[in-house]
Structure formats: C-alpha cells, structure tokens
Structure 1
Amino acid sequence: MLTFLALLCLIAALLPAGLAVANLLALRTPAPEPGDDLVSILIPARNEAGNIEGTVRAALASVGVPVEVIVGDDHSTDATAAIVTGLGDPRLRLAPVPDLPEGWTGKNHACAHLAGLARGRWLLFIDADVTLQPQAAAALSARARHTGAALVSAVPRQRMDTLGERLTVPMINFLLVGYLPVPLMRRLPNPSLATACGQLVLFDPAAYAATGGHGAVRAFLHDGVRLAPIFRRAGYRTDLVAGAHIATCRMYDGFAAAWAGFSKNAHEGLATPRALPLWTALLGLGHLLPLPLTLAGLAGLLPPEATLLSAMALAVSLATRAAITLATGEPAATIPLHPASIAVALAIQWNVLLRRERAGAATWKGRSYPVGGA
C-alpha cells in the first residue's frame, strides 16, 4: 500500500514537471519594437502612496513607443493624488474615479473608467505596485501586433522580501507554469485554456469595448482570470508571455497581507467544492507527501521500493520548482520551502472554502464584496 502511494506521488510530480519543460520552452520575453502607436498605461490606485511615484515614473520612462499614463484615484484617503499631481509630466493625467456603483468591485470599476478616458491604440493596465521596465510597452504591443492577440498578459517578476511572502507568492508562477499547457493554450481557442495576470495586461481597445471589458466582470475580484476566457468566447485571441524581464511587482509586505490577498482571490479560484479536492490530491501527492514519506523511508519505516519512489518524487518536485523559480527570476531561497508553500497554499484555499458559507463576502482595500460576485 505504501509503495503504491509512493508511486502515485511520483506520477503526480511528473505531470507538472513535463508541463513545465514544455511551458518554459514556449514562454519567452517578447522583443520590443519601436512604433508610433500610442500605448495608454492605465493605473487604478486606492491608497497607494507608498508605491505610486515609482510606478508612475517607471511608466513614463517607457521607450520605443509613445505613452500616456492615466492614474485613477479611487477615493484614496492618503497622499496618492497629491503625489501624482506633483510629478507634473504632460503625458500624465490624474483621473478621480466616480463613486462605486452597486454590483461593481472597486478595481474593475476604476479600470472601466480609465479605459473610457484612454486615447491609445493599446490599453496597458498595470497594478499600482507594478514597476515597468522601459521596453515593456513596446514589447507587449509588438507581441499583440505580430500574433493578432487582442489580449496579451504576463506575470511580473515577483519581489519577496519576507519569509511570509516567500511561502506564498511563488505559487502564482508554479501553478501557472506547472499546470497550464501553454503550447495548447496558443494552439487551441478553448476558453478554458485562457488565463491572464491582472497585474499586467494589454488590450486592443476595440476588442475591449466589444466584450464589455472590465464591465463584463464587474462583480468579480479576479479580473485577469475572468477576462481572458471572455475574450476567447467572443472569438479573440489571447496570449501569455514571460514577464520577468518586463516588469517587477511586490504584491504584499508580509504573511498576513499575503494570506488576505490570496484568500480574496481564492473565492473565485481553486476554493470550490468541485475543484479543491482535485487540486488537493494533485498538489498533496506530487509536492507535499514525498517529503514525509522520504523521511520515513530513511528512518527505516517504509519498504525500500517505497523509499526510492518517494525520494524520486521529492527530487522531481524540487527540480520542477527550481526550474520555474530560476526562469521567473524569483529568489532561489524559496526552492527548499516548496513543500511548506504547497501546505500554506492548500490551507488558504480550504480555509476560504470552509468559511465561505459563514463569511458570505470577501474584503479588500476597505470594501466588502459578495463571494463569487453578485
């Protein structure tokens, strides 16, 4: 029985290993190309005084294409608006976001408002904690032109300065690179294969308007994941590219903030009665159980065959994590934390699922929203 369990662990570890190899070969940083098309860089901001100056300055430093930068001040109670106003660049506008209508989440409402003000040939939405590289706008717009994609997204390189961040944030790239078949995503129009990262996503404005843009996901919190399938169902191409050399983001400033942030997204992600047991089996077998099984085997508590299989599963799991970590520019120190990261990720998802009926709402940036949208 233990040998069979160890064999299942090895099989579950090999699945993301194979996908990661294919995906890392497919995911490349797009080459920037100079052009005359205006890129509107749109930044929704609510109480972002600690981030907004660096984010705006980096956006204004874009090269290769002309840009305008519009910051949507979503009823900030800190110095966000004053900081933006003080930068004084003619390409920069501060746009107060109107009051939040019923049935909308804050970010989606701010993004929809910003899209209505933009003049660009391309709409590049970034979160207020994202720092663009100078070639980012030129690279993403060039990729959209060459592929005909109406939506191009990337995951920025994630900064993680505390142990709590290093236990949680790496799961974004691990799940994406280890479990989304990127070559199939590009080849097949199936909406279920489409995804995007809401931190950094470029749209064709005509397709954005035709699909309803952020208005089509107005009641949801996870805009990137929701928008890409909508674009595909409307007949538009979507694409995902490597983002480590395009932008940088520090999502959270510690474990408590990371737990709250990933819990907010879990409401619309893995934390469903149908999906979470499957993901628990896949992640638990492939990345969580191999470590205790291997340690038990080394202590003489398992048959030799089970010990060998579990050790192989652990090696494959850590090698997969190492390859993804190095390719995405994340800290190498997070690699040995991988089993603990899996345990924390599953704990977040199960906590959200088990509390869903009692809580009834997700809270973010001082606002509460019905779970799963209204």
Structure 2
Amino acid sequence: MSMSTLLAIMGLLLSAIPAATFLRNLPLFLFQPCKANHAGNVKVSVLIPARNEEESITECVESVLKSRNVEIEVVVLDDHSADATADRVAEIAASDSRVRCVNGKPLPENWNGKQYACYQLAAEAGFHWLLFLDADVRLSDTAVSNLVQRMQRTNVALLSSFPHQETGTILEKLLIPLMHYVLLGFLPFARMRMSKSPAYAAGCGQLFLTKKGDYKSAGTHEAIRSSRHDGLKLPRIYRKANLATDVIDGSDLARCRMYRSGGEVIRGLLKNATEGIASPVLIVPFSMLFIGANVVPIVALVLAIIAKSTLGIVVATAAVFVSLLPRVMAARSLKQPWIGVVLHSLSIVIFIAIQWIALAQQLIGRRTAWRGRVS
C-alpha cells in the first residue's frame, strides 16, 4: 500500500471523529424560538460591561430596550473608558428610566477586567434574573423571553447562547466559525446535558443567563477572577457547584461582530488560548488531531494524484469530503461564510499556529494586551 493511501486512510479515520460528533450535536444545539412567546411575570437585569465601547454601546442598549414579554432593566458598567461610552449611555438613560450607567471601581490585583466588571454589575442588579451581555451583541426583541423560557423548561442554572457571528475580513471568515467546529465537533452534547461534570463545561462569553441565587451558589465571577475565558470558566464553576449548564445556538436571537480586523482576530484568539486548547496538556494531542483530520486529507490527495494511485485518490477524496462536512453543515445551518468551507484546511493551520504562539508567549511570561490591559 502506497504512502499516499496510508495517509488518506489516517486522514479519513481522524476526520470521521469531529464529523460524526458534529452530526450528532447539531440538532441538539440548534434552537427554534417559541411562537407563543410568554415568559410569565419575569424581570431581568441585563448587565453590560463596557470599556471603550462608544461605537457599539448605543445599538446594544437600544436592542435590549426593544425586548418584549419580559420586564427589564439595563445596567451598563463603564470600565474606565477613554472614549464617550458613558456619555452614550447617559443619553439613553435620560429618556428611559430602565437604563443606568455605573462607574467601575479601580481594578484590584489578580482580577481580570471583564470578570470584575461583571462582578460589580451583579451587585447592582435589581432583579432576580441576570443576563450578562457583551456590548457588541445585538438582541432580537424576543431573545430575552425565549432564553428565559428555555431555562424554565430545562431547569438549568446557567444558559449560554452563541449569537450569529457577523464577519467582515478574510481572517474573521476563516477563524471565527472554528468556535462552532471545536464546540460541536468535540463536545458530546447529549452527555453534557445528562451530566454536571466540569469536564463538559462550555459556553459563549458573549451571553449568559442565570438567576441571582444560582450565581451566588456558584461563587460569582470572583471564582474566576483572574481568567480571561469566561465562556469556559463560568460554566465550570457552576458545574463544580453541582449546577446544570447548557449552551445553545442563538442565531435567531442575537447577532454579534466580535472583531473588526485581522489583527483583532489574532489578538482575540491569543488572549485566552492558554485556558483552552493551548494548554501544555492539550495542545499536542489537539494539534495532531486537527492537522490529521483537516490537513492530511488534502496532502494525501495531492500525493495520490502525483503517484497516480487510484485507491489513494478515492480514499483521500472521501477523507477531504468528511473533513469538510462539519463546515458545510455549519455554513448551511448557522449561516457561516462559504469561503471558510473552501479554505478550511488553511483555517486549521492558522488556528493551530495561533495556539502554539499563545503557549510560547505564556512560557516566556508574555500576555496579549486587550483593550489596553493585560489582565
């Protein structure tokens, strides 16, 4: 058997792992908003940490204020912004009593800026339900009531939702959709929902819904005070407290453009990579699996064509198809860019390179700055 055929078989076997998991997970992840949308007499505090968000905070707050079938208050924490973030919120608050802007306290030692902002916001909340929301997220008018109903129906303590990810630059289109590839390709959703084990913790830091009592029982954001990765770490502390968590698709509930340039994408992925795949324990096996499942099939196909190996070409073609299947499904169901499907192997190479750079930075004691902070 030729080398190209052996590589093709290896690529096929490895690509089948995330592809099969993605196929099982996608129906469980997708969420259909309720037609009869009534969450009952529910009051929700929408809590928005904001640091230098002058360009996005107005649209974010105004989208929340359009929420139907729930009573809301909006509390924005101005985290020592150097721009007019606080002024924009004050303008809205002047005409809508549901909106408040509070000034953030100085950042204590060993705290991450966002975690401390959320911790302060929770203390300011006047209602029992807490919705932590990033300033670059825009909600639909039924998003809050739909999320509340989902929590009421499933009885989870922490619900996270992935907004539709808007992308502009080529790096955004290639790399941002990989969050779904990693989540749906490697986390067994059925087992996650049957278990409260911290090993199955997952979420999206852009949007979290919980109740004040459960939030306190889990330890609040103080329990993850030094972390940059609340999408992973907040669900984990809930599960450590024996509280159930869940994560769902929010494509029809919210939208978000996380980054606005290629440089922001790189820095954004670098800043919390070592708390995920780029940890010393995970980076080698994940690199081998990602490259084996998504790059090796392409290499095997090229080698098989050069060697004119019919068997190698057939197996490698199958491996390429299987490796692309998760991105095809995501492009169709989650409205992700099709260029990410075409250049999927390149996306993986760039993504893995970023993980190794992040690990190298950690080893030399360097941290990526974000919004003027390294914490």
Query: What pairs up with 1:6-45 in 2 under 5 angstroms?
Result: 6-29=8-31, 30-31=33-34, 32-45=37-50
- Is the Cα contact below 8 Å between 2:8 and 2:301 reproduced in 1? no
> % of aligned pairs identical?
36
Q: C-alpha distance in 2, partners of 1:325/1:364?
A: 29
Task: Give the CA deviation at 1:54.
Answer: 0.6
Partner of 1:362 in structure 2?
A: 368
Q: C-alpha distance in 1, partners of 2:282/2:312?
A: 29
Whichever residue aligns with residue 201 of structure 2, its letter is A
Query: What pairs up with 1:72-151 in 2 under 5 angstroms?
Result: 72-87=77-92, 88=94, 89-151=96-158
Whichever residue aligns with residue 25 of structure 2, its letter is N
Q: How many residues align?
A: 368
Which of 251, 257, 265 pairs up with 1:250? 257
Partner of 1:372 in structure 2?
A: none
Whichever residue aligns with residue 151 of structure 1, its letter is L
Q: C-alpha distance in 2, partners of 1:64/1:241?
A: 21
Whichever residue aligns with residue 199 of structure 2, its letter is S
Q: C-alpha distance in 2, partners of 1:263/1:190?
A: 27
Task: Give the CA deviation at 1:164.
Answer: 1.8
Query: What pairs up with 1:128-277 in 2 under 5 angstroms?
Result: 128-277=135-284
Q: C-alpha distance in 1, partners of 2:295/2:57?
A: 38
Which of 339, 344, 347 pairs up with 2:350? 344
| 1:61-104 alpha-carbon deviations (Å, 9 max, x no partner) | 11111111111100001010101111131110001111101110
- Is the Cα contact below 8 Å between 2:5 and 2:300 reproduced in 1? no
| 2:52 is the counterpart of 1:53 | no
| 1:288-319 alpha-carbon deviations (Å, 9 max, x no partner) | 12122212322x23633222222111111112
| 1:234-283 alpha-carbon deviations (Å, 9 max, x no partner) | 11111111111111110111111100000002021111222011111111
Q: C-alpha distance in 1, partners of 2:46/2:348?
A: 35
Q: Which piece of structure 1 moves more, 286-295 or 263-272?
A: 286-295
Q: C-alpha distance in 2, partners of 1:162/1:310?
A: 31
Q: C-alpha distance in 1, partners of 2:174/2:324?
A: 14
Partner of 1:292 in structure 2?
A: 299
Q: C-alpha distance in 2, partners of 1:322/1:120?
A: 42
Q: C-alpha distance in 2, partners of 1:47/1:306?
A: 54
- Is the Cα contact below 8 Å between 1:173 and 1:328 reproduced in 2? no
Q: Which piece of structure 1 moves more, 21-30 or 216-225?
A: 21-30
Whichever residue aligns with residue 256 of structure 1, its letter is G
Q: C-alpha distance in 1, partners of 2:325/2:126?
A: 46
SS of equivalent residue, structure 1 residue 245:
strand
Please tell me the root mean square deviation across aligned C-alpha atoms, in Å: 1.3
Task: Give the CA deviation at 1:367.
Answer: 1.0
Distance 1:303 1:354, change over 3 A: farther
- Is the Cα contact below 8 Å between 1:20 and 1:324 reproduced in 2? no
Task: Give the CA deviation at 1:110.
Answer: 0.3
| 1:141-188 alpha-carbon deviations (Å, 9 max, x no partner) | 111111111100011110001112112111111111111111111112
Whichever residue aligns with residue 205 of structure 2, its letter is G
Whichever residue aligns with residue 354 of structure 1, its letter is A
Whichever residue aligns with residue 156 of structure 1, its letter is P
Q: C-alpha distance in 1, partners of 2:236/2:275?
A: 14
SS of equivalent residue, structure 1 residue 3:
helix
Whichever residue aligns with residue 284 of structure 1, its letter is I
Q: C-alpha distance in 2, partners of 1:59/1:333?
A: 32
SS of equivalent residue, structure 1 residue 366:
coil
Whichever residue aligns with residue 28 of structure 1, its letter is L
- Is the Cα contact below 8 Å between 2:7 and 2:300 reproduced in 1? no
| 2:335 is the counterpart of 1:335 | no
SS of equivalent residue, structure 2 residue 45:
strand
Q: C-alpha distance in 2, partners of 1:335/1:302?
A: 26
Task: Give the CA deviation at 1:55.
Answer: 0.5
SS of equivalent residue, structure 2 residue 5:
helix
Q: C-alpha distance in 2, partners of 1:60/1:337?
A: 39
Q: Which runs of 5+ in 2 are unaligned?
A: none
Q: C-alpha distance in 2, partners of 1:17/1:164?
A: 23
- Is the Cα contact below 8 Å between 1:103 and 1:219 reproduced in 2? yes
Whichever residue aligns with residue 97 of structure 1, its letter is G
- Is the Cα contact below 8 Å between 1:75 and 1:96 reproduced in 2? yes
Q: C-alpha distance in 2, partners of 1:189/1:283?
A: 27
Q: C-alpha distance in 1, partners of 2:280/2:112?
A: 24
